[in-house]
């Protein structure tokens, strides 16, 4: 009995899958272009596309319009409990956490911010916006708003440490907890899609939360947009 030869696309897909499994390409890495892969394996680009489509169907890779084909990262477990701490959450998932600051500002609160923080209309607030990353792969965009009157030095602490917990501790608040969290499904558009390295229309998970001090006074109003295919949000009792 003659065994049919393995299709070229299947051999290419198997070779790339093996290289991903051996760590030659890490989660978030971009694969060589179709032209480069075609030259490497001595085939046409149609055969390469067939191989890449097979890997995408298996969840190993995904394409980003205008950017290329990337190794898909396994979702990061991210618990939403009474104490949500970015670096601790990622460390518990075995990921390396980092943040990139996009904005530090002091301005008048809008109506939603004033209501969430129990402030007078137009009260001054500190605004901290940034990009959270897991193993250097964009995980989420965040905006945190704090009452400036209570924490006058918070902006300087955030600029120096990049850590909300450390900056609040410098302002005399050693502990805070999550009072409420609302979770909504969204889609990536415009600058959010670009900053998260997502195609237009990719799924996002948006959380809107209020953190309070031990006496129950609101101290942070936060909105976070998580890349939907890179995170698993888990609600925990603590």
For the chain of 238 residues, list the mean pLDDT of each consecutive stretch of 10.
73 88 83 95 95 81 84 78 79 82 97 97 97 86 98 96 94 95 93 85 91 97 90 76
Structurally, the chain folds into a number of domains equal to 2
CA 35 – CA 27 distance, rounded (Å): 22
| Residues 67 and 80 both lie in one domain | no
The pLDDT assigned to 95 comes to 77
Domain around 46: 8-71
The label of the residue with tokens 């898909």 reads 72
Same domain for 198 and 177:
yes
According to the model, what pLDDT value does residue 102 have?
A: 97
Do residue 130 and residue 212 come from a single domain? yes
Angstrom distance (rounded) from CA 28 to CA 99: 16
DSSP single-letter state for residue 23: T
Kindly state whether residue 1 falls inside one of the protein's structural domains.
no
**Residue 107: DSSP 8-state:** E
Is residue 169 exposed (0-12), middle (13-18) or buried (19+ Cβ within 10 Å)?
A: middle
Query: How high is the pLDDT of residue 190?
Result: 93
215 in the same domain as 187: yes
Radius of gyration over every alpha carbon of the chain, rounded to an integer in angstroms:
22
The number of angstroms, rounded, from the C-alpha of 167 to the middle of its chain's C-alpha atoms is 22
Q: What was the pLDDT predicted at 218?
A: 98
Is residue 88 domain-shared with residue 58, that is, in the same domain?
no
Determine the distance from the C-alpha atom of residue 123 to the mean position of all C-alpha atoms in its chain, rounded to a whole number. Answer: 30
pLDDT of residue 28: 79
Is the residue at 2 inside a domain? no
For residue 195, report the phi and psi dihedrals to the nearest 5 degrees: -65, -35
CA–CA distance, 88 with 41 (Å, rounded to integer): 44
In this structure, what token pair is assigned to residue 97?
Answer: 């956490």
Same domain? 140 vs 60: no
CA distance 16 to 8: 12
């Amino acid at each position: 009995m003659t065994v049919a030869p393995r299709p070229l696309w299947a051999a290419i897909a198997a070779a790339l899958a093996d290289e991903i499994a051996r760590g030659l390409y890490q989660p978030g890495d971009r694969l060589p272009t179709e032209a480069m892969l075609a030259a490497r394996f001595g085939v046409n680009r149609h055969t390469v596309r067939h191989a890449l489509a097979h890997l995408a169907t298996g969840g190993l890779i995904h394409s980003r319009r205008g950017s290329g084909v990337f190794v898909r990262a396994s979702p990061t477990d991210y618990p939403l409990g009474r104490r949500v701490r970015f670096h601790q959450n990622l460390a518990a998932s075995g990921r390396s956490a980092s943040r990139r600051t996009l904005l530090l500002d002091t301005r008048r609160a809008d109506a939603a911010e004033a209501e969430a923080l129990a402030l007078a209309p137009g009260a001054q607030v500190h605004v901290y916006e940034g990009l959270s990353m897991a193993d250097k792969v964009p995980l989420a965009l965040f905006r945190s708003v704090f009452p400036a009157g209570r924490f006058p030095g918070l902006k300087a602490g955030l600029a120096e440490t990049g850590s909300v917990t450390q900056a609040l501790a410098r302002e005399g608040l050693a502990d805070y907890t999550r009072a409420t969290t609302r979770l909504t499904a969204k889609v990536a558009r415009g600058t959010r899609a670009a900053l998260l390295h997502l195609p237009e229309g990719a799924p996002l998970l948006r959380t809107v939360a209020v953190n309070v001090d031990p006496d129950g006074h609101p101290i942070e109003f936060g909105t976070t947009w998580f890349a939907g295919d890179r995170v698993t949000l888990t609600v925990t009792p603590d």
